[in-house]
Amino acid sequence: MNAAIANTVVSAHGLRKAYRNKLALDNTSFEIEAGKIIGLIGPNGAGKTTALKAILGLTPFEGQLKVLGLDPRKDRDELMKDVCFIADVAVLPRWMKVKEAIDFVEGVHPRFDRAKCERFIANTQLKPNLRVREMSKGMIVQLHLALVMAIDAKLLVLDEPTLGLDILYRKQFYQRLLEDYFDEQKTIIVTTHQVEEIEHILTDVMFIRDGKIVLTSQMEDVAERYTEVLVSGDAVEQARALKPIDERALPFGKTVLLFDGAPKGHLAALGETRTPGLADLFVAIMKGTYA
């Protein structure tokens, strides 16, 4: 087998999925390699969840898709031995006890390591008979993490995993994931609306709009390709002549212009340059989507 193919976790070509009159996936193609943390970012209705459902074998679609070398439509049972899917951490049933959650995951996932889960829980305030309704949000995060980290999956799919949690617990979730779970043998796909909170852990990013991938890049290449310039006064018109892809006004007559591939030396002569945050880049590329 070709080494590049062996290293490819997801290979999608010409994916198409329609709901009534709307295309959720429109000839969508992308590749995801092993050992990556991918941010799949897009506005509501862009096709994120449909793409994840296709990868997980949860929805029919047209086109070619291989996940860990398998077709999710035909080989879902085999595929799910190496895949873990986690949605919103707030969805754990409120009546469920800690020991019942562990029993459940042990019963449904062949790669769940109960001893590893219990070792993680031993370092928390979680007790076997504690019910979800009796837990703080932070404790719910700890339980979810313990369940996830005890599954030796090759692919972890996280769909808005920290919805409803405050910033402290959101940061704790991602940091523990990075420190205690991720390694070069694992691949993580994560969707979230809190883009600025995950950009520091991402290796790659994909922007999706209207069922199409409109940007796919390694994070280090984003820094090379895109530049923001903070300019004021007469320099604004000079900067506009270099054809920015977006601009926004700041107080005190200052303007931030965003450039794609413009010579950094030219830009530095006009004002203060910096690498744009992922949230600002997302807003610039998605402009018009919310109209």
Residue-wise pLDDT tens digits, 214-237? 999 999 999 899 999 999 887 889
Choose the final residue of a domain: 180, 210, 240: 210
166 and 203: one domain? Answer: yes
Give the per-residue pLDDT at 118. 92
137 and 243: one domain? Answer: no
Residues 41, 197: Cα–Cα separation, whole Å: 12
Average pLDDT over the chain, rounded to an integer: 88
Give the phi and the psi of residue 196 in degrees, each rounded to 5. -65, -20
Full domain range(s) for residue 239: 222-286
* pLDDT score of 289 more than 60: no
Q: How far is CA 237 from the centre of its chain?
A: 37
Task: Tell me if 51 is assigned to some domain.
Answer: yes
Choose the final residue of a domain: 181, 210, 239: 210
Average pLDDT over residues 10-22: 92
CA distances to 54, 75, 202, 210 from 61, rounded to whole Å, are: 7, 14, 28, 16
Q: How far is CA 116 from the centre of its chain?
A: 25
47 and 118: one domain? Answer: yes
Residue-wise pLDDT tens digits, 184-211? 889 999 998 888 888 989 999 999 999 9
254 and 201: one domain? Answer: no
- Number of separate domains in the chain: 2
Residue 171, classed as helix, strand or coil, is: helix
Task: Tell me if 216 is assigned to some domain.
Answer: no
263 and 199: one domain? Answer: no
Task: Tell me if 291 is assigned to some domain.
Answer: no
Task: Tell me if 61 is assigned to some domain.
Answer: yes
pLDDT band at 1 (very low <50, low <70, confident <90, very high): very low
Beta carbons of 202 and 38 less than 8 angstroms apart: yes
Choose the final residue of a domain: 154, 178, 210: 210
- How many other CB atoms are found less than 10 A from the CB of residue 286? 18
251 and 125: one domain? Answer: no
175 and 152: one domain? Answer: yes
CATH assignment at residue 90: 3.40.50.300
* pLDDT score of 129 more than 50: yes
Residues in the chain, overall count? 291
* pLDDT score of 291 more than 60: no
Give the per-residue pLDDT at 288. 53
- How many other CB atoms are found less than 10 A from the CB of residue 269? 13
Residue-wise pLDDT tens digits, 81-108? 899 887 765 567 889 999 999 999 999 8
Task: Tell me if 215 is assigned to some domain.
Answer: no
pLDDT band at 6 (very low <50, low <70, confident <90, very high): low
Residue 104: left if φ>0, alpha if ψ -120 to 50, beta else—which one?
Answer: alpha
Give the per-residue pLDDT at 25. 93
Give the per-residue pLDDT at 2. 44
Task: Tell me if 217 is assigned to some domain.
Answer: no
Strand partners, 211: none
Residue-wise pLDDT tens digits, 28-43? 999 999 999 999 999 8
Average pLDDT over residues 253-268: 90
Which is more confident, 166 or 126?
126
Strand partners, 32: 10
Place of tokens 């959650």: 101
103 and 137: one domain? Answer: yes
154 and 130: one domain? Answer: yes
- Strands 212-218 and 204-209 come out as antiparallel
What does the buried/exposed string (b/e) look like for 201-236 if buried means 16 or more CB atoms within 10 Å of the residue's CB? bbbbbbbbbbbbbebbbebeebeeebbbbbbeeebb
Give the phi and the psi of residue 213 in degrees, each rounded to 5. -80, 115
Residues 166, 12: Cα–Cα separation, whole Å: 35
199 and 261: one domain? Answer: no
Residue-wise pLDDT tens digits, 153-179? 999 998 888 877 788 878 888 888 888
153 and 105: one domain? Answer: yes
Q: Encoding tokens for residue 199?
A: 């950009």
* pLDDT score of 4 more than 50: no
114 and 250: one domain? Answer: no
Which residues, 6+ apart, have CB-to-CB distance to 285 below 8 Å? 207, 209, 214, 215, 245
CATH assignment at residue 274: 3.30.70
